Chains A and B, each alone.
Chain A
Amino acid sequence: RKEVEQDPGPFNVPEGATVAFNCTYSNSASQSFFWYRQDCRKEPKLLMSVYSSGNEDGRFTAQLNRASQYISLLIRDSKLSDSATYLCVVNKGNAGNMLTFGGGTRLMVKP
């Protein structure tokens, strides 16, 4: 089983749609969780951290379910500029800061 699993997609949605991505992780000792965004032929960039209480940043909402080892990202009112690959990232739960990256979910927002 992969440490971090994501549906690779692609998710094809119209502008204005709401889309949700899910991610599961296998290490119950993980303590830090993130969503990264990666545009085509670019480096991954931190989109948001994911907190136990859930957190929101504009049109983006992240949720964490520790019991089910499940993380989600909700994007409301999708824009063309949201088209990218979204990477679920989980730390290894050790004393350092080693992160494990999921394979990513590709989102394509169409006019």
Chain B
Amino acid sequence: NAGVTQTPKFQVLKTGQSMTLQCAQDMNHNSMYWYRQDPGMGLRLIYYSASEGTTDKGEVPNGYNVSRLNKREFSLRLESAAPSQTSVYFCASSVVGQGYGYTFGSGTRLTVV
């Protein structure tokens, strides 16, 4: 049981390049989330998908787009990377309803130069 799998683990981009971060979960969870974590800033929600077919903006959505491809997969796209997007990106998933925590993937370390 892999849980939440993120790819790639590391990536270096040049300013203006685009890329897609992939996330897949095998726990049959309905909800999925993308966070970024920067030193001193904690975890900040970028986008989330409460269920298959829906996506919503979180706290810091600018510069990002998402796709909930199916129940298992939720991708995050940077269309034109900027140095301010240098961060560690975590995908997470959960069941619907209160009382449940999130399960996180191992993260993607992204550097934009």
Contacts and interface: CB of A to CB of B under 8 A. Distances in A.
B101 A101 contact: no
A58 interface: no
A98 B42 CA distance: 16
Contact of A34 (B40, B96, B101): B101
Given A43-B104, A46-B101, A102-B42, A97 B90 contact: no
B98 interface: yes
Interface of B: 31, 40-43, 48, 50, 90, 94-107
Nearest to B59: A100
Contacts, number: 48
Given A97-B31, A103-B42, 20 more contacts: A31-B99, A32-B98, A32-B99, A34-B101, A42-B106, A42-B107, A43-B90, A43-B106, A44-B90, A49-B101, A87-B42, A87-B43, A96-B50, A96-B96, A97-B96, A97-B100, A98-B48, A99-B101, A101-B42, A101-B43
Contacts of A104: 42
For this complex, into which size category does the number of interface residues on chain A fall? 20 to 34
Residue of B97, B101, B103 with most partner-chain A CB within 10 A: B101
B98 A97 contact: yes
A87 to B, nearest CB: 8
Interface of A: 31-32, 34, 36, 42-46, 49, 87, 89, 91, 96-99, 101-104
A36 B103 CA distance: 10
Contacts of B50: 96
15 contacts: A31-B98, A34-B101, A42-B107, A43-B107, A45-B104, A46-B101, A46-B102, A46-B103, A49-B99, A87-B42, A96-B31, A96-B96, A97-B95, A97-B98, A103-B41
A89 to B, nearest CB: 7
Nearest to A91: B98
Nearest to B103: A46
